[in-house]
Amino acid sequence: MRKKQLIAGNWKMNGGLAANQILIDALLQGMGSPACDVALCVPAPYFSQVQALLSGTSTALGAQDVSAQLQGAFTGEQSVSMLCDFGVRYAIVGHSERRQLHGETDELVAAKASAVLGKGITPIVCVGETLAQREAGHTEAVVKHQLAAVIHANGHCISEIVVAYEPVWAIGTGVTASPDQAQAVHAMLRAQLRHAASEHANDIRIIYGGSMNAANAGELLAQADIDGGLIGGASLKAPDFLKIIAAAC
Ligand code: PGA
């Protein structure tokens, strides 16, 4: 039996008090009781609002990043225990925008994954190659190197993570990996997880992100090793996000 799919919205730096309320009202109304897991990874200033709006529902609150440090003089950062205070259940780590714009290394991403795992939050570990890396034939080496750092740092609890394969060239571009291209990388990542956590590899969700939308979600989510989606732009439009959730369920 296939594991429950996970559909996670990544709002990025979008939203506002009034707009969040409208979006979440529409989502909750349209969703009913979905057969898949749903999470909304929202900007930290809205944790309190979104926690209240989602309370009593099965939709989980997620964060888009977290500090690897537990507390102290780290201006602008949010710690894992702060996320716990608001009932955050998932935290994206290593999104390509953080790797590219904020210089996050594989080692830092692995440390962030360890920090959230230590408090029972599920890290959504993002890996993915740039267009230049794909064209040079380095996709496998790049994504495996990124995931290896997380496996190395978290060997004993690797079964608790979610992996998100997000080809950088597909994020926010409207260009999606074809179902075959995505499945091929997901199968490689699954094989790597099998090597690291043989008995749990099939239970670890490997989700796809990069211009997933209402039109292409069905075909992507039908692939054997695609266990959900990390959705940016389309998660900000209730009808589109609801169609993706329906495709996953
Ligand atoms: P996109 O973003 O769906 O807008 O391509 C996905 C992501 O960056 O997580």
pLDDT digit string (tens) for 176-234? 889 999 999 999 999 999 998 778 888 999 999 999 999 999 999 999 999 999 999 99
Supply 247's token pair: 């495709």
Q: State the pLDDT at residue 157.
A: 86
Quote the ligand 1 centre to 170 CA distance (angstroms): 8
Q: Which atom of ligand 1 is nearest to the CA of 211?
A: 5
The confidence score (pLDDT) of residue 147 equals 97
pLDDT band at 174 (very low <50, low <70, confident <90, very high): confident
To the query of whether residue 166 is one of the catalytic residues in this protein, the response is: yes
User: Is the pLDDT confidence value at 94 over 90?
Assistant: yes
Ligand 1 atom nearest to 172, measured from its CA:
5
167 Cβ neighbours under 8 A, 6+ residues apart: 128, 129, 134, 139, 177, 181, 182, 185, 210
Say whether pLDDT at 249 is over 70: yes
Closest by CA to 232, choosing from 50, 58, 97, 56, is: 97
Among the options 95, 129, 160, 186, which is catalytic?
Answer: 95
Task: Output the pLDDT for position 1.
Answer: 53
Q: Which atom of ligand 1 is nearest to the CA of 164?
A: 9
Protein residues whose CB sits closer than 6 Å to any atom of ligand 1? 10, 166, 171-172, 209-212, 230-234
Ligand 1 geometric centre to CA of 167 (Å):
10
pLDDT of the residue at 175: 86
What confidence tens digit (pLDDT) does each residue in 15-60 have? 999 999 999 999 999 998 999 999 999 999 999 999 999 999 999 9
Distance 75 CA to ligand 1 centre (A): 27
Predicted local distance difference test score (pLDDT) of residue 197: 77
Question: Which residue minimizes the CA distance to atom 9 of ligand 1?
Answer: 232
Above 70 in pLDDT, residue 2?
no
Query: How many residues make up the chain in this entry?
Result: 249
Instruction: For residue range 103-162, list pLDDT tens digits in order.
Output: 999 999 999 999 999 999 999 999 999 999 999 999 999 999 999 999 999 887 888 999
CA angle 216, 217, 222 (to 5 degrees): 110
Candidates 129, 160, 166, 186; catalytic one:
166
- Which one has a higher pLDDT value, 3 or 71? 71
Distance between CA atoms of residues 165 and 74, nearest Å: 29
Q: How far is the CA of 228 from the centre of ligand 1 (A)?
A: 13
Q: Are 49 and 20 in contact (CB under 8 A)?
A: yes
